[in-house]
Amino acid sequence: MNSKADTHVHTYYSGVSNYKVLRFPESIIKPEVQVERARKNGMNVLCITDHDAVKGAFEAQKYAKKYDDIEIVVGEEVTSADGEVLAYWLNELVPPGLPIEETIDIIHEQGGLAVAPHPFSFYVPCLRDRIFDLNLDGIEVINGGHVDHFTNTKAQQVFKEHPGRWAPFSGSDAHSVYTTGYNWTEFEGSGAEDFRTAIENKKTIACGQPAPAFAQVQWSIEVVMGAQKMLLKALAGTLEPDEDNPLITKMISISDVKKIGGLIGGFFYLLPPMPFLAEFAATKWLSRKSHALLNELDTKFQMDREQVFKICVYVPVEYSDKMMDAIDAVIEPLYPGYRRAFSITEVTGTWKPLKGSHPYKGRPGKIETAQEHKIEFIVKENDLKRVLLKIREVHPYEEPMIDVSPTYAWKSML
């Protein structure tokens, strides 16, 4: 039986984001709300991975103890000095800001697992090519928050090029309930322990798609409205301090001028159709940027392909064995464990020798025919000249018919 895990979910413990001049809550969702939503989405395992925080994950774990259809893995999305890394099965907070090697060591020393989220994002701090030299247990090949086409495509391509190296992950990266349920990681078994075994055996399956743009709009409206309510209450002095809620602590701590600034900004953002326009502009930017990056990826893919040549040579049937032996003796075999790999088609060749020619068969001025073998095979570029000279040397015809066409070695395209 296969079960589902959402491997990347945030709560209001993720705090306030600093994106250039914009400051907004990462999430206003309580841990228990994410647990209920995950159950509704049919998840058997939920990993709470707040930014540089584990309190919400422990809260969710405590809350979910009453259910036997879901288990919570205590996780964290750690902001290392070199990019974000997801940590699972933690006992305590992994400190942010350390070099990535040290961060991963701390995760493993706790008995945890380390996974690269959105490893090729072009707008979120991530590990990129560092994943190749780090001791990671998995990489996210589907990140539900990345709708840009490049990030997930590139991660999937890299994953395919390194079979068995990492466990593939698909996490919603949901900062809201609206963006959950569209993608998940499947594993054989039922609970968190089976999930861990599947990761260690690299047997997880990444499923689903990123959440649609509309769900992202819902998240942004939810976050701004939630922040507006808190700011209003904070201004009126009715916002109860709650040391467990980092958003409330933040809202109370900022100056009244900043509170009013935030309220005005939020008010304009919520004016219809502003959230939709903002999402449209963001999606447009992402799609333009990812289009350019995908083109680069394609070009690189083209360059990585191994160029080989397909040769077709037409010889009289009685010469075909001699020809194949001669060719086989001068080329490097393309198929390990095999030699003399050719394809033969029987064809009828026809020609009219002219005066002064020295035909293998026939007389000048008369149309001649002969049963021929069309011999087809692939050679590497290094062998090309040598094999053409050999064909010329062995062929009985004065003017042999030889076609050469460039092509690609199919194994280099996988």
Which residues of this protein are in contact with Fe ion, per CB under 5 A? 77, 173
Closer residue to Fe ion, CB minimum distance, 171 or 353: 171
Nearest residue by C-beta to Fe ion?
Answer: 173
How far, in Å, are 98, 103, 125 from residue 95 at the CA level? 7, 8, 17
Task: Report the nearest approach of Fe ion to the CB of residue 117 (Å).
Answer: 6
Rounded Cα distance between 227 and 230, Å, is 5
Task: Report the nearest approach of Fe ion to the CB of residue 260 (Å).
Answer: 30
Q: 242-253 burial, b for 16+ CB within 10 Å, e for fewer?
A: eeebbbbebbbe
Residue type, 71: E
Closer residue to Fe ion, CB minimum distance, 97 or 406: 97
Closer residue to Fe ion, CB minimum distance, 11 or 320: 11
Closer residue to Fe ion, CB minimum distance, 85 or 370: 85
Task: Report the nearest approach of Fe ion to the CB of residue 341 (Å).
Answer: 50
Residue type, 5: A
Q: Is the dihedral of CA 281, 282, 285, 286 positive or negative?
A: negative
Task: Report the nearest approach of Fe ion to the CB of residue 412 (Å).
Answer: 35
Backbone angles phi, psi at 74, to 5 degrees: -80, 115
Task: Report the nearest approach of Fe ion to the CB of residue 158 (Å).
Answer: 19
Would you say 210 and 10 are in contact if contact means Cβ atoms under 8 Å apart? no
Rounded Cα distance between 366 and 26, Å, is 86
Which residues touch 353 (CB under 8 Å, ≥6 apart)? 359, 362, 363, 364, 365, 366, 368
Closer residue to Fe ion, CB minimum distance, 79 or 218: 79
Closer residue to Fe ion, CB minimum distance, 185 or 320: 185
Task: Report the nearest approach of Fe ion to the CB of residue 8 (Å).
Answer: 6
Rounded Cα distance between 308 and 171, Å, is 40
Closer residue to Fe ion, CB minimum distance, 104 or 331: 104
Task: Report the nearest approach of Fe ion to the CB of residue 333 (Å).
Answer: 49
How far, in Å, are 16, 179, 183 from residue 218 at the CA level? 18, 8, 17
Pairing of strands 16-19, 2-9: unpaired
Would you say 217 and 254 are in contact if contact means Cβ atoms under 8 Å apart? no
Closer residue to Fe ion, CB minimum distance, 124 or 270: 124
Closer residue to Fe ion, CB minimum distance, 7 or 320: 7
Backbone angles phi, psi at 310, to 5 degrees: -100, 130
C-beta neighbour count of 19 within 10 angstroms: 9
Task: Report the nearest approach of Fe ion to the CB of residue 133 (Å).
Answer: 23
Task: Report the nearest approach of Fe ion to the CB of residue 127 (Å).
Answer: 13
CA 41 to chain centre: 23
Task: Report the nearest approach of Fe ion to the CB of residue 173 (Å).
Answer: 4
Token pair, residue 286, equals: 């992402």
| Helices then strands, each counted (H, E), the chain | 11, 15
Task: Report the nearest approach of Fe ion to the CB of residue 407 (Å).
Answer: 44
CA 232 to chain centre: 42
Closer residue to Fe ion, CB minimum distance, 173 or 194: 173
Residue found by looking up tokens 């589907």 in the block: 142
Closer residue to Fe ion, CB minimum distance, 77 or 383: 77
CA 407 to chain centre: 28
Rounded Cα distance between 351 and 367, Å, is 6
